[in-house]
Amino acid sequence: MSSIDACLDGFALVNQRILEHPRQERARRIDERSIAVVVPDLDTTFRLRLTSEGLADIVHHPSGTDGSPSQVTVTVGGDDLVAIAEDRLSAKLALATRRVKVNASLGDMLRMRSLLG
């Protein structure tokens, strides 16, 4: 089972991939969003912001202790979160097989689809 630190390292990898894209492309494709990533097997929720400058303000706390709403909520197991971050698991496949569940507006879902390529 992955740890909270492994998940944080995964977020760092995702952030690096975001920042590899030119600033203008990021500004065009990314609208700032508040995100909650719920990791049930670790009983943890990560809260962060997705911005054109990458992932920001990443904090974590025990699940169910913070009721502040997020624009996008992702539920994923710790091992799958790390595997997606390390490119060992396709995010599209994880969504299609419901290993990752996303609760977001239709517009956010379409934007996410374009970001996944």
One-character DSSP codes across 75-88: EE-HHHHHHHHTTS
Residues 6+ apart with CB under 8 A from 36: 45, 46, 47, 70, 72, 73, 74
| Residue 112 pLDDT greater than 90, yes or no | no
What domains does the chain contain, in order, with CATH numbers?
4-115 (3.30.1050.10)
Per-residue pLDDT tens digits for 47-106: 999 999 999 999 999 987 766 789 999 999 999 999 999 999 998 899 899 999 999 988
Q: Check residue 67 and give its pLDDT.
A: 67
Q: Check residue 114 and give its pLDDT.
A: 60
| Number of helical H runs and strand E runs in the chain | 5, 5
Q: Check residue 63 and give its pLDDT.
A: 86
Closest CA to 21 of 42, 47, 43, 52: 52
Partners of residue 102 on adjacent β-strands? 74
